[in-house]
Structure 1
Amino acid sequence: MKTSSILASVLLLASLCTSCTKDNSDPKPEEQTVAGEVSGTWKKGSIIQVTGDIIVPAGKTLSIEEGVTVVMDTTAKPEIIVNGNLYATGNASNPVKFTVPETARTTKYKFGKLWGGILASKTCTELVLDNVILEYGGATTTEASTSVKLGLYKAASGENVPALWYSNVSGKLVVVNSIFRNFNEDCTYLEGGNIIFSNNKFYTTGVTGGEAINIKSGCIADVAYNLVYSTNTNALKLSNAGDRTPQAYVVAYNNTLLNTGWRRPTIKGGSIWIEASVRADLYNNLLTNCRFGIKRDVKKPEDSRSVIQNNLYYGYNQTTVDQFQPTAEIASGTNEVRGTKAGDNDPKFANYPLSTDVMNADYNSSWDFSLLSGSAALNKGITTFTRNFKTGITANGKTYTSPEPANYIGAFGGK
């Protein structure tokens, strides 16, 4: 009896320990493989293997919860076609991630081209990316591409797909707190919509061309507090090309732009490009070691109502400084902070070597672009201008407002 009691006690203890282990272990992430039509909800923390082009049908919604990892097959190089609505909402500690298998995340594919991008047609009424990472895309279209067959984006083979294309002039597009990296060409190509882009980062993008934010006619947009590092061409390309209604009107303010435009072999690359009757109000933008200042197409200039004010220009060497001096092509603006000698108006970043090679496209996550005491960008901003979406854009039941402008220049305040 005594032996039986001891044995029973041992078995009970083992059972309890096993139960404790199971209770305290993290559940295995849900995994599923998808291709073709998709809708519904991809649950928090799940892993989605995409083996072919996927389509959110018109009138339906795909919601992607925090911590979801969407892994794109690098042989199929899928596109994500959004005819309905897409809401990808992560958070700072658990972003949604559109990526490729870990073995493909190497320097060999630094500029991606391993899957397509997110392509939203005119029937997409709402698209939200909040705390999302998009990386390693920008594949080249072929005659077999779904986007070509459906007449989306440029509807032609041989085009490098942007990370995000949006085209509904009456639609709503909100992209906040997100990262675009390791893309072959454009990060975004926007041909319509009521748009907020704020608090995003763009880096390691563009082999021979490409902008971070490329806006055409049909767009009303606020672009604020974004960091753009070493895009191949411009950080912002603002244009009314396409003659859609409404006329493109962009308020871009408190952005930090670094080393942009140098890897473009022609004279088009710079910092901010304005053209074709776009109405562009540009305030409090910090242009550091960019190839040119704010540049216009003199044959197709911006709308005369455009405002350029309180932007700061810094060049580590004299060549850079000389190339942001006002000319017919380089906009002058008012109340600008623009020196004439190398090193004038030091922004005094908390942790970034201003001598970094302007051809460098590799981003260091330890860099800190906050402003130290004595920065030429502190207390030089303007806050009295009007932004397009002060009262916000409501999408997926949540109202996103364009952030308040700051009294400093750039995307980050004092340290």
Structure 2
Amino acid sequence: MKLKQILAALAVSALAFTGCQKANEGVDTSPTNGSAIGEVSGVWTKGSVHEIKGDIIIPAGQSLTIEEGVTVLMDVTAKPEIVVQGNLYSLGTADNPVKFTVSDVYRTAENKFGKLWGGILAGPTCAELVLDHTILEYGGATTSDASTSVKLKLYKQVAGENLPALWFSNVNGKLIVQNSIIRNFQEDCTYIEGGKSIFANNIFYTTGLSGGEAMNFKSGCLADVAFNLVFSTNTNALKLSNAGDRTPQAYIVAYNNTMVNTGWRRPTAKGGSVWLESSVHADLYNNLFANTRFGIKRDPKKLEDNRSKNDYNWYYGFDQATVDQFQLGKNDIVPGGANDVRGTKAGDNDPKFVNYPLNNSLTSPDFNTAWDFHLQGNSPALTKGTTNFFRNHKAGITTSNGFTYVSPEPATYMGAYGIKL
């Protein structure tokens, strides 16, 4: 009898092992250097490298924490998606960011709009997602019937969609994206369908092959968007919408952002800098528009909430055609406030960036990391802002791992950067 019990136990163990092996085939779940496919959770430790060989899933109720200096290397043949049903905390530092990227050989001009892996797709059960000092690059692949996101009915649920760098969809969730860089994606950088969120101190560039926004917010979102630099997105820097009929109504407060050359690569009604539609409640202050296509613009058939406000925004155009197209009374431009700075002649209101050629091509998506969008000490834009407005998350958003993230205090200068210290 004892022998039979031993044999039975061995049989059960073998079955369990076989089932485990099938579910995690090819997975190295150790926190140090490894490869992953399938379900992942736990901690990827400082400085490690993780090769993602296929779609990975953070299960509901579990978390993956990625420490500073980790490189998450995507297999360009598999074009993996990162599906977040639990929580994701990507916690880099200024000197040691986390990178979601591809091998050096693929980071080329030919691949400038990515398409080499999917994106980070956070489903309705994702309670918390933090990207701090994190670089996302060379993604935005197109979905197929075999994509995990299509099978799980995530994002737009069908084959043939270009994935954003980040999709978030929990109206009760918490989303922090700060001190990060999103570059080299073929369409939207972010597509947010709910949650309390802070987007602060980020940089977006070389994105949008034939469409795409830097930050795209829908209904269910309560967001503060501040101190971001957006360069030459194909469509808008900010698309603010209450589409989707989720609760709460979308309320976006965007302040102290610098937008440069946005919208010119999509010469349609929607290509611009800030687009308002579908009853979104949007307040915009202290934003600097430099050579952008249009200013703050609305969909005339689906207007924004009439409580929306915008004032203390700065407009600059190098040539007369650029200046003309952000004037009030044209192109469905939203009227601003008495404190806007909006000239009528080419070259009016030069913000005096430290290092940026203001006559740079309006349609080039190429970004030079040596450019410096801080303001010179004699910039007229240094003292024209306001600090007297509501922010959604002035009191902060606290996550379950013990961190509290607070919307940055507004500055009295225009744009994302004041004097370089």
TM-score range for the pair, normalised by the shorter chain length = over 0.9
Q: Does residue 351 of structure 1 match 2:374?
A: no
State the match for 2:275 in structure 1. 273
How far residue 375 of structure 1 moved from its aligned partner, in angstroms, is 1.6
Contact 1:96 1:132 in 2 (8 A): yes
Which residue, 232, 235, 249 being the options, matches 2:234?
A: 232
Q: CA deviation at 1:30?
A: 4.1
Is 1:333 matched up with 2:361? no
Q: How far has the Cα of 1:378 moved from its partner?
A: 1.2
> Out of 300, 303, 308, which is 2:302 matched to?
300
Instruction: Work out the CA distance in 2 between the residues paired with 1:213 and 1:371.
Output: 24
Query: How do 1:7-156 and structure 2 match up within 5 A?
Result: 30-156=32-158
TM-score by length of 1: 0.92
Q: Paired residue for 1:408?
A: 413
Query: Are the aligned partners of 2:235 and 2:266 in contact in 1 as well (CA < 8 Å)?
Result: yes
Contact 2:275-2:296 within 8 A present in 1 as well: yes
May I ask how many residue pairs the two structures share in their alignment? 387
Give the conservation status (yes or no) of the 8 Å contact 1:345–1:375. no
For 2:416 and 2:53, locate their aligned partners in 1 and report how far apart those are by CA, in whole Å.
Answer: 38
Using the alignment, how far apart are the partners of 1:115 and 1:327 within structure 2?
43
Contact 1:183/1:206, CA 8 A, preserved across alignment: yes
Distance of 1:240 and 1:163 partners within structure 2: 21
* Structure 2 residue identity aligned to 1:230: S
1:386 aligned counterpart, secondary structure? coil
Task: Look up the match of 2:392.
Answer: 388
Asked if structure 2 preserves the Cα contact closer than 8 Å seen for 1:195 and 1:222, the reply is yes
User: Which secondary structure state, in structure 1, belongs to the residue aligned with residue 379 of structure 2?
Assistant: coil
Q: Distance in 2 between matches of 1:43 and 1:372?
A: 40
**Contact 2:32–2:44 under 8 Å retained in 1:** no
Partners of 2:381 and 2:391 in 1: how far apart?
A: 21
* Deviation (angstroms), 1:332: 1.8
Residue 374 of structure 1 and its aligned partner are, at CA, apart by 2.7
Aligned residue type for 1:411: A
Shift of 1:268: 1.1
Determine whether 1:362 maps to 2:366: yes
- Does the residue aligned with 1:354 lie in a helix, a strand or coil? coil
| Deviations 1:147-205 (CA, angstroms, capped at 9, x unpaired) | 00001000010000000000000000000000000001000000000000000000000
Once the two structures are superposed, residues 230-269 of structure 1 have per-residue CA deviations (whole angstroms, 9 ceiling, x without a partner) of 0000000000000100000000000000000000132210
Alpha-carbon deviation of 1:373?
2.6
- Distance in 1 between residues matched to 2:224 and 2:176, nearest whole Å: 10
Measured in 2, the distance between the counterparts of 1:63 and 1:323 equals 46
* Cα distance between partner residues in 2 of 1:249 and 1:380: 25
Q: Which residue in 1 is equivalent to 2:378?
A: 374
Where 1:377 maps in the other structure, the secondary structure is helix
| C-alpha distance in 1 between matches for 2:54 and 2:247 | 35
CA distance in 2, matches of 1:397, 1:323: 47
Q: Which runs of 4+ in 1 moved over 4 A?
A: none
Helix, strand or coil at the partner of 1:378? helix
Counting only pairs closer than 5 Å after superposition, residues 162-311 of structure 1 correspond to structure 2 as: 162-311=164-313
CA distance in 1, matches of 2:202, 2:377: 25
SS of aligned partner of 1:35: strand
Question: Any conservation in 1 of the 2:50–2:72 contact (CA below 8 Å)?
Answer: yes
- TM-align CA RMSD: 0.9
- The AA in structure 2 aligned to 1:83 is Q
SS in 2 for 1:210: coil
- What residue in structure 2 maps to residue 9 of structure 1? none
CA deviation digits over 1:307-343, x for unaligned, max 9?
Answer: 0110000000000000000126101210110000000
- 2:14 corresponding residue in structure 1: none
Q: Which runs of 5+ in 1 are unaligned?
A: 1-28
AA of the residue aligned to 1:333: G
- Aligned identity (percent) is 69
